[in-house]
Chain A
Amino acid sequence: MLEYQQQILANLLQQDSLLIMSPGLGLFSVFCHFLQVHTNDNHLILLLNTTQAQNSAIQEHLLSQGIQIDHGLQVIEYDTPSDTRAAMYRQSGIFAVTSQILAVDLLLKRVPSTLINGIIIYNAHQIRPNSMEDLVLQIYRNENEQGFIKAFSDHPDAFTSGFAPLQNTLKILQLRHVELWPRFQVVVAENLSKGNEEVIELRQPMTPAMDKIQNALVECMETTMSEVRRANSRVDVPEYTFENALFKSFDMVIRQQLDPVWHQISPDTKHLVGDLRILRQLIAYLTDYDSITFNSFIETIIYTNSAPTGSKARQSQWLYLDAADRFITAARKRVFVKTSDPEYQETPPNNLVVGPNVPKDIRLTLEEHPKWGLLKDILQEIDQDATTNTDHGAPVLVMVNDRRTCKQLQEYLASSQGFLKRLAEHYFSWRTTMLRMQKKQDPPASAASDSASHFGNRHPPNKRRRVRGGSATASAMPRTPQAYREEMLQTLQTLDTPDPESDKEETELDDIMATMEFGDDDLLPAFDQVPPSSLVTIQCYENDKDELLLEDFQPRYIIMYNPDPAFIRRVEVYRAMNPQLPIRVYFMIYDNSVEEQKYLSLVRREKEAFERLIREKSIMAIPIRQKPATSDDDLVRKVSSRYGGGRFQLNTKKTVIVDMREFRSSLPPMLYSQGIHIVPCTLQVGDYILSPEICVERKSISDLIQSLSSGRLYTQCENMKQHYRIPILLIEFDQAKSFSLQNAGDIKDNIVPTDITSKLTMLTLSFPTIRIIWSSSPQETTAIFKELKESHEEPDAEAAAQVGVDNPGQMNTMVNATPEDILRSMPGINSKNYRLIMKAVKNLEELALTEEATLQKLIGKVPGHKLYRFIHRTK
């Protein structure tokens, strides 16, 4: 460990604190060393908020340090039975556990809270008020004042939004001290300046086509942005700037800005925000994806937007812009040109052996990424350099963004031209499938629909501004998605011999599917395809694992194919730890690209974040731990009014029974912090049981909208009505969100049956005994629950768990929501028979392997057939 890392570790061991470091300075290694200190004795230490990947990296690291598995990190999975968990805690050790499980276990006293030696929170920047971590730490501190709390983060920029973010995070973490370690800290700077590395920065220009696509995409974003602002003048939508658009989550920022009124804004705006996300994706994919995959993604977007004529599906408005036309054409020309393109003559005929799926009248262009060639050159240079300097070569490490790029480069380096050719072959067969699918669905070719309205009607579609490059296609009108599709259908026709027999078409389709599968195999290189003699390793950035990576590989040459500020620091640390090694770093970046801008703004944002944090640290009020709300006053009232003199209840605390699934919402932590005793339980009916008579189903606004239209709420109300005398629907708004169902200005002149207010009216008509609680925030809900409980008896958990249980197997069974939702949306499935499937079949994977006869036996002949057909149908 470097000097500054040792100092951090020493500070951490000495006092409870939140540690925030610059990314790449070795947070993970400090963290692992901290754990290591606690592996020897019989400690009970709980680790929260780690990812699966992080857990396995920690285990790997501890193992490499010679620590036995049962002394190292043990992971409690979501399906570890509760009895096993209880036994594990009692044996002590270090456990990684999700906060949700730990909160339940603490409440049900499965963890001996007084015996906990410490709780560690990783990724501390993710902690929010009234989260499960918040609840865990509250219970922990109430029952155990001795154990330690340590928190770790290397995302300083996450602590800069909102009011007093640092102070508030410390309060939730029950901490009073923060350690800030930026890269510019004196000791860090000194430690890292010692190495001697060679850094070669390579600025690679993009191809003209890529430039064109990037500019057009930015233009589409600009227009979409201004459309969002125009439609939502009440909302403070951030100014569109190029810089804004680059940083990763720009559409998320807008989404956040709109969040307070999200349930009120028009579907059009929601669609626009979705468009922004797609456009941002496209900008990133431009440099990440190969030209063929990039183009096929664009085509898929066009297909999704070109629903058959007559359907009311919403279309993305940016597709109607000139700029969209420009980048769609440019992206296609990076793959192939057609006879009508001016470039056709200059393009050499396909000298490659092309497969049957490639139309005859096009010429393949198959543009390569300029970085690929550059990488090849560098590797050659290294090869020469290495042979002159050492006798047996030296390890070369190529770092990329993700697995996709990793595969891409492996493939390219193994067989440069063959790689794109294979991709092209695969692409054309995929395209054939896709077009056939569309053709089947479509009525005979009809004129492109002009029903779609154009952007604010401010750019009449036929008034084109001048198009740069003046290509031949530019003289046409901007095309509708339907027009794009027709064009593609024409391409398809050139290789289709019309066949009246549809049977034939089916077999052809099967053939294509067969070749496709074959092609897929081709696309997946096994790792041993990389020549074993080569010492080149391609790896993707994986944050915490990267620290171990450099030490494991001991590379002499590092090529950063994609820029990553954190990894630059990791290299600095690696160099400082190994001063004897001569290390050469190549740093590749696309000149004037979004990639470059993103990199620069990341670096700047981090520096600004630390400056803010240092300032806030110097002026903030140090949080003092708050004692939990006592139940003294409850006690007095209970004795005096309800149990007139005679009975004195020992259990004086107010109790609310909470369904396990609710341990994802912020209400349980809120109830706990207000002194209410919460009992987790698996409930079949309702979310919260306040008394033997009162059952509450909680719905956030988005849940309310969703469950009213899916019909789930109807069924839930039916169940509540059947089993409880006072069934209640709790409509809970978010504190940050606007407290009203619809905006006054959006109320239409007529009654619209699909409006949320109409549906809610219908619900109350169907269930006259269902009561409604309207709550503006979880805080309000807590206060209302408290008041309601004044005049009612305490609920009984055992009884609540029995309610609505049809068969004994249902007791103590948790349901995974997503697979259940997927199943319930399938044809043949209804609210009566889905449970039969879930009981008999393990998961969706198994469902896909289940025979038709078996399904029919389970849910009946017709539904079983429908379900089977849906799962196995090929289009």
Chain B
Amino acid sequence: TASVKRSLGNTILVNPAQQKNPILRCIHNVPYEFDDGVKCDYVVGATTGVLYLSLRYHRLYPNYIYGRIAALSRMYLLRVLLVLVDIEDHHTTLRELNVAAITGQFTLMLSWSMEEAARYLETYKVFEHKPDDLIREKPADDSDFNASMTDTLTNIRTVNKTDALTLLTTFGSFAKMTQAPTDQLGLCPGFGELKVQRFRQAITQPFLIKDDGLSKGA
């Protein structure tokens, strides 16, 4: 349809019913235009449609959103229910919306200010074709040895950057650290007994604990 084609550009398509929504004023990183063909509230990508709901509005018209959710159940690949949390006592309402979104196959996104809500709309549009490398696991960067050693060692609770450097300069390599006896670790400045214990535990604890009885009770 026309609206889908047009949304391939860099413009957010807005349902004219949203004309008075103040969050429009907060959208400034991406252009938007009104389009009569839009079935949801905001089309922020070729396959992404957004329904917007402020909790204050929902309190006045509690049935409104259910109708909208039902009407859109087969459209768009990603259906977002963007909710503005603008009331204090939100527990019951949010509980209900959490469940409604799952049942209606919507992805719920919460925002706590107009700016934040608008930012989500902008981000969806801008990220439409962005590769997802940013949130994928990436192999450790080994170009900076000191930095990767620090990253590795600070996985242990209470070991910080300074401690990582102390270990490396005192023992020389990761292999030598693992072989250092407790007494010797305890002499490193900044290493109290607890830290030594945590370090030794991380080094000597088995990666895997096999227990054949684990699922027997289930």
A759 interface residue, CB < 8 Å from B? yes
Q: Note all chain B residues with C-beta closer than 8 A to A710.
A: 137
Is the C-beta of A447 less than 8 angstroms from some C-beta in chain B?
no
Interface contact A788-B99, CB-CB below 8 Å: yes
- Do residues A875 and B215 form an inter-chain contact, with CB atoms below 8 A? no
Residue on B with the closest CB to A821? B155
Residue-wise, chain A 730-767 has the 8 Å CB interface mask toward B (1 for contact) of 00000000011110100101110110011111111110
- B167-218, CB < 8 A from A: 168-170, 172-176, 178-179, 183-184, 186-187, 189-190, 192-193, 201-218
| Residues of chain A contacted by B162 (CB below 8 angstroms) | 278, 297, 300-301, 304
**Is B17 at the interface (CB under 8 A from chain A)?**
no
Q: CB of A407 within 8 A of chain B?
A: yes
CA distance A86 to B193 in the complex (A): 34
Q: A441 and B119 in contact (CB under 8 A), knowing A300-B165, A303-B165, A842-B206?
A: no
**Which A residues touch B178, using CB under 8 A?**
844-845, 847-848
CA distance A839 to B85 in the complex (A): 47
Of the listed stretches B3-11, B63-71, B146-154, name the one at the interface; the rest are far from the partner chain.
Answer: B146-154
Q: Nearest Cβ distance between residue A694 and chain B, in whole angstroms?
A: 8
Given A830-B137, A848-B178, decide whether A82 and B211 contact each other with a Cβ distance below 8 A. yes
Bound form: Cα–Cα A433–B166 in Å: 11
> Does B123 belong to the interface (CB within 8 Å)?
yes
Pairwise interchain contact A844-B203, C-beta atoms closer than 8 A: yes
Is B38 an interface residue, CB under 8 A from the partner? no
Once the chains bind, are A812 and B210 in contact (CB under 8 Å)? yes
Task: List which A745-798 residues lie within 8 A (CB) of chain B.
Answer: 747, 749-751, 753-754, 757-766, 768-776, 780, 783-784, 787-788, 791, 797-798
CB neighbours of B77 from chain A (8 A) = 768
- Chain A residue numbers with a CB within 8 Å of B205 are 816, 818-819, 843
Write the nearest CB–CB distance from B132 to chain A, whole angstroms: 5
Please name all residues of chain B whose beta carbon is closer than 8 Å to the beta carbon of A858 when the two chains form the complex.
none
Most chain-B Cβ atoms within 10 A of its Cβ — which of A110, A289, A437, A791? Answer: A437
* A296 CB within 8 Å of chain B: yes
Q: Could you say which residues of chain A place their CB within 8 Å of the CB of B105?
A: 769, 771
Residue of B nearest to A79 (CB): B209
Task: Say what secondary structure dominates the interface of chain A.
Answer: helix
Closest chain A CB from B42 CB (angstroms): 13
CB B77 to nearest CB in A, in angstroms, measures 5
User: Which of A86, A751, A776 is within 8 Å of B126, CB to CB?
Assistant: A751
Known pairs A300-B169, A768-B77; A81 contacts B140 (CB<8 A): no
CB pair A776–B202 under 8 Å, yes or no, is no
Is residue B127 contacting chain A, with contact meaning CB distance below 8 A?
A: yes
| Closest partner residue, chain A, to B77 (CB atom) | A768
Residues from 93 to 124 in B contacting A, C-beta threshold 8 Å:
94-95, 98-99, 101-103, 105-110, 112-113, 115-116, 119-120, 122-124
Residues of A within 8 A of B136 (CB): 711, 714
Do the beta carbons of B208 and A713 come within 8 Å of each other? no
Interface pair B112/A744, CB less than 8 Å apart: yes
Residue among B102, B160, B166, B211 making CB contact with A81, cutoff 8 Å: B211
Cα A304 to Cα B79 in complex, Å, equals 47
Task: Tell me if A115 is interfacial: C-beta within 8 Å of chain B.
Answer: no
Say if the beta carbon of A872 comes within 8 Å of chain B. yes
Residue numbers in B under 8 Å from A845 (CB-CB): 178-179, 203-204
Structural contact, B145 and A403, CB atoms closer than 8 A? no
Tell me whether A815 is interfacial, beta carbon within 8 Å: yes
A165 beta carbon closer than 8 Å to chain B: no
With a 10 A CB-CB cut-off, give which of B95, B169, B174, B184 has the most chain A CB atoms: B169
Shortest beta-carbon distance from B117 to chain A in Å: 10
Contact A524/B102 with A300-B169, A875-B145 known, Cβ cut-off 8 Å? no
Chain B interface bracket (under 10, 10 to 19, 20 to 34, 35 or more)? 35 or more
Partner of B151, one of A770, A811, A825: A825
* Cα-based distance from A761 to B178 in the complex (angstroms): 41
Partner of A304, one of B107, B137, B161: B161
List residues of chain B with CB within 8 A of the CB of A285: 189
Contact yes or no, A848 B175, CB < 8 A: yes
CA of A304 to CA of B189, assembled, Å: 14
A822 in complex: contacting residue of B152, B169, B173, B193, CB < 8 Å: B152
- Interface residues of A, count at CB 8 A: 129
Question: Is B138 located at the chain interface by the 8 A CB criterion?
Answer: yes
Contact in complex: B98, A775 (CB < 8 Å): yes
Chain A contacts for B107, CB-based, 8 A: 764, 768, 770-772
CA A798 to CA B141, docked complex, whole Å: 40
A679 touches B218 (CB 8 A): yes
A773 x B142 contact (CB < 8 A): no
Shortest Cβ distance from A436 into B: residue: B169
Known: A765-B78, A772-B107, A844-B202. A86 touches B213 (CB 8 A): yes
Contact of A820 with B by CB under 8 A = yes
Chain B residues with Cβ below 8 Å from A135 are: none
Indicate whether A430 sits within 8 Å of B138 (C-beta atoms), given known contacts A297-B189, A744-B115, A768-B78: no
A812 adjacent to B214 (CB under 8 Å):
yes
Shortest CB-to-CB span from A846 to chain B, Å, is: 9
Would you give the shortest CB distance from B160 to chain A, in whole angstroms? 7
Q: Encode A815-853 as 1/0 by CB contact (under 8 A) with B.
A: 110111111011111110000011101111101110000
B134 and A759 contact, CB distance less than 8 A = yes
The answer to whether B122 touches A751 (Cβ under 8 A) is yes
A residues in contact with B120, CB < 8 Å: 757, 761
- Which residue in chain B gives the minimum CB-CB distance to A772? B108
List, in ascending order, chain A residues with CB within 8 A of B168's CB. 437, 875
- Tell me the A511-550 residues at the B interface (CB within 8 Å): 513, 516, 520, 523-524
Q: Roughly how many angstroms separate A597 CA and B176 CA in the complex, as a whole number?
A: 40
Write out the residue numbers on chain B whose beta carbons fall within 8 Å of the beta carbon of A129: none
Q: Note all chain B residues with C-beta closer than 8 A to A712.
A: 137
Neighbouring B residues of A681 by C-beta, 8 Å: 214-215, 218
CB neighbours (8 Å) of A768 from chain B are 47-48, 77-79, 107
Is there a chain B Cβ closer than 8 Å to A109's Cβ? yes
Inside 8 A of A109's CB, which chain B residues have their CB? 217
Closest to A766 in B: B132
The 0/1 profile, CB within 8 Å of B marked 1, for residues 93-124 of chain A is 00000000000000111100000000000000
Nearest Cβ distance between residue A636 and chain B, in whole angstroms? 20
Q: Report yes or no: B135 in contact with A766, Cβ–Cβ below 8 A.
A: yes
Interface string of B35-52 (1 = CB under 8 A from A): 000000000010110000
A816→B189 contact, CB < 8 A:
no
The residues in A between 593 and 618 inclusive whose CB is less than 8 angstroms from any CB of B are none
Q: At the interface, yes or no: A391 with Cβ under 8 Å from chain B? A: no
By a CB distance below 8 angstroms, the chain A residues around B130 are 762
- Cβ of B75 under 8 Å from chain A: no
- Tell me whether B139 and A801 are in contact (CB under 8 A): no
Q: Is B80 an interface residue (CB 8 A)?
A: yes
A814 touches B209 (CB 8 A): yes
Assembly CA distance A830 to B213 (angstroms): 30
Residue B156 is within 8 A (CB to CB) of chain A in the complex: yes
- Contact in complex: B206, A816 (CB < 8 Å): yes
Whole-angstrom CA separation of A798 from B157 in the bound complex: 34
Cβ contact within 8 Å between B152 and A300 = no
Q: Is A143 an interface residue (CB 8 A)?
A: no
Are the C-beta atoms of A761 and B123 separated by less than 8 Å? yes
B18 within 8 A of A: no
Q: Which residues in B have their C-beta under 8 angstroms from that of A281?
A: 190
> Could you list 18 A-B pairs, sorted by A, with CB under 8 Å?
A82-B216, A297-B166, A433-B172, A709-B135, A747-B113, A753-B134, A759-B135, A772-B101, A772-B109, A773-B108, A791-B103, A828-B142, A838-B208, A841-B207, A842-B206, A845-B178, A847-B178, A875-B172
Known: A812-B214, A818-B157, A825-B148. 12 other contacts (CB 8 A): A108-B216, A108-B217, A437-B168, A759-B135, A768-B78, A772-B108, A773-B98, A780-B95, A814-B209, A825-B152, A845-B179, A873-B173
Residues of B within 8 A of A (CB): 28-29, 45, 47-48, 77-80, 85, 90-91, 94-95, 98-99, 101-103, 105-110, 112-113, 115-116, 119-120, 122-124, 126-128, 130, 132, 134-142, 145-146, 148-149, 151-153, 155-157, 160-162, 165-166, 168-170, 172-176, 178-179, 183-184, 186-187, 189-190, 192-193, 201-218
